[in-house]
Amino acid sequence: MHLDKSEKISKDSPTPKYLQVVNLILEDIEKGKLKVGDRIPSINETSFDLLLSRDTVEKAYNELRDRGIISSVRGKGFYISSTKTEQKLRVLLLFNKLSSYKKLIYYSIITTLGSKATVDLYIHHYNRNLLQELLEQNLGNYNHYVLAPHFFDQNGHPEDACDLIKKIPKEKLLIIDRAVKGFENEFPGVYQDFVKDIFEALESGILHLKKYQRLILVFPKGELYPVEIMDGFKRFCFFHDFKNLIVDGLEDDEPLLTGDCYVVLAESDLVTLVKKSREQLLKLGRELGVISYNDTPLKEILAQGITTISTDFEQMGKTIANQILGIDERIPVKNPFRMTLRKSL
């Protein structure tokens, strides 16, 4: 078999070049040009024919081998071992937790992938040792690995797992929800920029915030939220000259003060705020402001509407799925983040 040189590898296509090579061979199988047992060109031959680097072609052949389409015989070359081109991709999701928001991402991924892939989900619970175990058990078993790289040590301090992350073949790895610090442009996928996101979201509502005397961020201890959220909040208050305070919780016996606006991360703190405002007869959006991190349908109706700052979790899942399918280019993509203004502000 000789790859038709008229088959162009498009430089402008969002589909990576190695996947374009994969698709060329799959098309020849579907057209009956290739059958089980047929030899295909060597990596060097295909590299020469299609004017591609050897690494790109090798990546394509590895993908075909992982799908069970080709096999290699030492000293002889590569052969077609299966003509079942509709074989599903295998995807492993490695999430830090299974919150309501992660469920939205999960369902968005599987809905977008549809019947083209089977998806398995594991939770590493922010623990790099558990991630190591999961990788030891599963490396080599999947076509794609989607990792949420949120990790904390035993004392609740953020830590990285770059040494473990780099064990996953680069062409199979996608990062989701946050970038790997120090390697923001190295790994493809979709991420939140927690510092920039909260800064810009609060800035978009600055005309409403200016009627409050003080901004208070409720950042719970022990909940393992990204510390960058605090950095973005502090920067916003500094650049726009807002009096501010960061607390780790709301005390039951401490009254709310007229003129304060709270930014809350935890659902429990949101419930406490709404209850206290009712007890003290404070009107949300007038005497007291409330902004909740991460939107849900319930917040649209709670207390006549809670203002939220949130990423688009469904879009995050769609972006990852489209990168898996080769519809979107495999590059780092910042996920949309916005303020949804409601009566609580």
The tens digit of pLDDT for each residue in 170-191 reads 889 999 999 998 888 889 999 9
**One domain for residues 183 and 320:** yes
The CATH number of whichever domain residue 322 belongs to comes to 3.40.50.2300
In a domain? residue 12: no
Percentage of the residues of the chain whose pLDDT score is greater than 70: 97
Tell me which H or E stretch contains 133: helix 128-138
In a domain? residue 8: no
In a domain? residue 9: no
**One domain for residues 209 and 303:** yes
Q: For the segment 102-159, what is each residue's pLDDT rounded down to a tens digit?
A: 999 999 999 999 988 999 999 999 999 999 999 999 998 888 999 999 999 888 888 8
Question: Can you give the residue range of the structural domain that contains 296?
Answer: 195-310
**One domain for residues 238 and 303:** yes
pLDDT at position 13 over 50: yes
Helix, strand or coil, per DSSP, at residue 291: strand
Q: Which of 80, 102, 132 is the last residue of a domain?
A: 80
Question: What stretches of 213-266 show up as alpha helix (H) in DSSP?
Answer: 228-239
Query: φ, ψ for residue 95 (rounded to 5)?
Result: -95, 155
In a domain? residue 5: no
Mean pLDDT of the chain: 91
**One domain for residues 49 and 139:** no
pLDDT band at 295 (very low <50, low <70, confident <90, very high): very high
Q: Which of 32, 63, 80 is the last residue of a domain?
A: 80
In a domain? residue 50: yes
**One domain for residues 249 and 287:** yes
Q: For the segment 262-291, what is each residue's pLDDT rounded down to a tens digit?
A: 999 999 999 999 999 999 999 999 999 999
In a domain? residue 76: yes
pTM over 0.75: yes
Rounded to an integer, the average pLDDT of 51-55 is 90
In terms of DSSP bridges, do strands 260-264 and 243-247 run parallel, antiparallel, or are they unpaired? unpaired
**One domain for residues 30 and 59:** yes
The CATH number of whichever domain residue 36 belongs to comes to 1.10.10.10
Q: Which of 31, 62, 80 is the last residue of a domain?
A: 80
**One domain for residues 306 and 199:** yes
In a domain? residue 303: yes
Identify the CA nearest to 191 among candidates 174, 179, 173. 179
The pLDDT assigned to 6 comes to 44
- Phi and psi based region of residue 170 (left: phi greater than 0; alpha: psi -120 to 50; beta: remaining): alpha
**One domain for residues 32 and 132:** no
In a domain? residue 326: yes
Rounded to an integer, the average pLDDT of 331-335 is 96
Tally the domains of the chain: 3
Burial of 91 (0-12, 13-18, 19+ CB in 10 A): buried
**One domain for residues 187 and 319:** yes
Rounded to an integer, the average pLDDT of 313-333 is 95
**One domain for residues 245 and 223:** yes
**One domain for residues 161 and 202:** no
**What one-character DSSP code corresponds to residue 256?**
P
**One domain for residues 24 and 52:** yes
Helix, strand or coil, per DSSP, at residue 119: strand
